[in-house]
Amino acid sequence: MTQQQEKLSAFMDGEVEDDKIIDAIKQDEELQAKWQRYHVIRSTMRKEASVAPEMDLTASIAAALDNEPAIVAPKTSRWRSIPVLGNVIPFAAQSGQFAVAASVALAVILGVQHLNQPAPSEPFTTAPTAGPQGGLAPVSLEQTRTLPRNDMNEVLAKKRKINALIADHEQQVKLKQVQIDEEEKVSEEPDRP
């Protein structure tokens, strides 16, 4: 950043009050353009900009196009001009594409065949013999454990207590709603003299 630009920025920020910078802005078109851009940037940052800034980009685009090198068409291949090789090269390219397609098709077919095969099964499956795991569990007709009568009474007492708490809660909710409704009615009635 040049010294003039730094002074211009400081002047815009209110840090410097110098008549020389004002004279420089009046005389230099580049500083005038920067002054305008700085104001647009400041307004945009403060969200004061109501209109998009006008920018003329045509001159810079035209200059960039003038500096752009010309695009030259690619040279034709000498191999294509030879009659035998001109026909062989496209055939070789097509053959390569065919080979890739055939390989993919073969892989798909083998994969599907492998997945569709049934799992091998042994003709005679036997139960594991008694060993370190303990073998088979003995068969028992009684699978459930009966609770003693005292435990049943405790379970019933707990269920009754829970049901009583739920009923009490529901009753409190209803009472609270009635109180809210009454308060709303009182607040809606106009003040009586």
- Please tell me the predicted confidence (pLDDT) of residue 125: 59
pLDDT 10s digits, 82-96: 666 666 667 777 888
pLDDT 10s digits, 108-161: 999 888 887 776 666 665 555 555 555 556 666 565 666 566 778 888 899 999
The domain tally of the chain equals: 2
Q: Which of 2-6, 26-30, 167-171, 177-181 has the lowest mean pLDDT?
A: 2-6
Going by pLDDT thresholds of 50, 70 and 90, the confidence category of residue 163 is very high
The answer on pLDDT for 170 being more than 80 is yes
Domain carrying residue 42: 3-52
- Please tell me the predicted confidence (pLDDT) of residue 42: 80
pLDDT 10s digits, 15-69: 877 778 888 888 888 888 888 888 888 888 887 766 565 667 778 888 888 888 8
Q: What is the pTM of this model?
A: 0.28
Question: Quick count: other Cβ atoms within 10 Å of Cβ 8?
Answer: 22
Domain membership of residue 10 (yes or no) is yes
- C-alpha distances in Å from residue 68, one per residue of 56, 57, 62, 186: 20, 17, 10, 83
Domain membership of residue 8 (yes or no) is yes
Question: Quick count: other Cβ atoms within 10 Å of Cβ 90?
Answer: 10
Domain membership of residue 108 (yes or no) is no
- Measure the CA–CA gap between 92 and 125, rounded to whole angstroms: 57
Domain membership of residue 29 (yes or no) is yes
CATH number of the domain enclosing 38: 1.10.10.880
The answer on pLDDT for 1 being more than 80 is no
Of the residues 29, 52, 75, which one is the last residue of a structural domain?
52
